[in-house]
Amino acid sequence: MTVVAEIDAAPAGHGLLRYAAAKAGGALLSIAMVVVATFFLFRMLPGDPVRALAQGRNMTPAQLDLERARLGLDKSIPEQFLHFVGQTLRFDLGTSYEYKRPVLDLIGERIGPTLLLTGTALVMAVSLGIWQGARAGWKPGSRFDRFSTAVSLVLWSVPTFWLGLLLLMVFAAGIGPIPGLFPTRGISSVDAPDGFGYVLDVAHHMVLPCLTLVAVVYAQYLLVMRSSVLDEVEQDYITTARAKGLKDDDIRRRHAVPNALLPTVTLVFMRIGFVVGGAVTVEAIFSWPGLGQLFYQAIRVPDFTLMQGTFLLITVSVILMNTLADVIYHVLDPRVRSV
């Protein structure tokens, strides 16, 4: 018995390695495409970038030339391209015009709050979406199902920023008899205490941004999980489980949900780009000092070096997440392995 299992497992293991290698190669190609696209995108800027940078500042032509040389804009496009690729490979994302500091340092400072906010929101949205979606899909057409579908339809139609504004108006600014319960901006108060008090203060600041992000992303997880469970309900093994006399709840929890979970969880990672978009919006509204806000500020100034650096980082991380999801799916789901 064990021998048979080993024989079966061996080629599968090799297949996985080959699969992972192929996916990693694909991801590398995608990242290379992102780097090339970024270079040309940011050289498409209409007009003279130096003049745009110098807007509103008194600069002599000599100073402008100096600035041009400093940014490497006096060289030919192929030279600029090689320089850009070399810099990017050394993780040198240039210096922010607005902050006068290396972009990578700025990103390093901002990455923590973003991971905290999106991580928390993602865990909450995924658990809630999967739980509700599984119950809704199990009894299609039931009152719970109709309610869930309606809720997700409404949330899907609500722009993230508008939901944030509403929450800001009702729970932060306070309206009518409701006092302002939560802070309107930032990650912590100026006079926040140390230690545990600080943690509480940050949590207090995180309630509204987190709620906004959860509400917006959870709807699609619900819908995906619902249709995924719906697929399972019609399967023969569910009928068998019923025939064995298992309780309805047990069939759902132990048979249908685990099988429906796989496609859903992968999709969670596949659509991480959507979450990133939501995070940018939420961070902008609640002045959450994360990557999204950094990106938003870079667009507002506009600070093109900073925009380029954050754009590169965001896209590359999304690509890596997707590749990881592909490989994990391959490991977890034996059904796709033979394909």
Q: Which two tokens stand for residue 200?
A: 């509480």
Is residue 218 within the footprint of another protein (CB under 8 A)? no
Q: Which is nearer to another protein, 125 or 318 (CB)?
A: 318
| Per-state percent for the chain, helix, strand, coil, to nearest 5 | 75, 0, 20
* 52-81 positions binding another protein, by CB under 8 A: none
Of 3-11, 188-196, 258-266, 281-289, which segment contacts another protein by CB under 8 A?
281-289
* 319 near another protein, rule: CB under 8 A: yes
User: Taking a C-beta distance cutoff of 8 angstroms, is the pair 293, 110 a contact?
Assistant: yes
Q: Which of 55, 58, 157, 338 binds another protein (CB under 8 A)?
A: 157
**Contact status: 122 vs another protein (CB under 8 A):** no
User: Would you count residue 186 as binding another protein (CB under 8 A)?
Assistant: no
User: Is residue 45 at the binding interface for another protein, with CB under 8 A as the rule?
Assistant: yes
Q: Give the total of residues touching another protein (CB under 8 A).
A: 52
By CB under 8 A, name the one of 3, 44, 190, 339 that touches another protein. Answer: 44
Give the type of residue at 58.
Answer: N
* Residue 169 binds another protein (CB under 8 A): yes
Is 277 a residue that touches another protein (CB under 8 A)?
yes
At its nearest, how many Å lie between another protein and the CB of residue 335?
19
Q: Cα-flanking dihedrals φ and ψ of residue 175, to 5°?
A: -140, 135
237 is a contact residue toward another protein (CB under 8 A): no
Question: Shortest approach of another protein to residue 266 CB, angstroms?
Answer: 14
Dihedral over Cα of 299, 305, 308, 311: its sign: negative
DSSP structure class, residue 179: -
Angle formed by the axes of helices 304-332 and 103-138, nearest 10° = 40
175 sits near another protein (criterion: CB under 8 A): yes
* DSSP-H helix ranges across 46-102: 49-53, 61-70, 77-89
Q: How many angstroms separate the CA atoms of 299 and 108, rounded?
A: 19
Q: How far is CA 337 from CA 13, 15, 269, 317, in A?
A: 10, 8, 19, 26
Helices 304-332 and 272-285, interaxial angle, to 10°?
140
Among 28, 41, 203, 331, binds another protein (CB under 8 A): 41
Give 8 or 234: the residue with its C-beta nearer to another protein. 234
Q: Which stretch binds another protein (CB under 8 A): 62-70, 86-94, 126-134, 148-156?
A: 148-156
Give the span between the Cα atoms of 59 and 303, in whole angstroms.
Answer: 18
Q: Does 274 bind another protein (CB under 8 A)?
A: yes
The nearer residue to another protein, 85 or 246, going by C-beta atoms, is 85
21 CB-near residues (< 8 Å, 6+ apart): none
11-19, 37-45, 196-204, 242-250 -> range binding another protein (CB under 8 A): 37-45
Distance of CA 170 to the CA centre of its chain: 27
CB of 315 vs another protein, minimal distance in Å: 6
Phi-psi label, residue 72: left if phi above 0, alpha if psi -120 to 50, beta otherwise: left
Applying CB under 8 A, does 159 fall inside the site for another protein?
yes
Task: Give the residues lining the site for another protein (CB under 8 A).
Answer: 29-30, 33-34, 41-42, 44-46, 140-141, 153-154, 156-162, 165-166, 168-169, 172-173, 175, 184, 230, 272-274, 276-278, 280-281, 284-285, 295-296, 299-300, 302, 304, 307, 311, 314-315, 318-319, 322
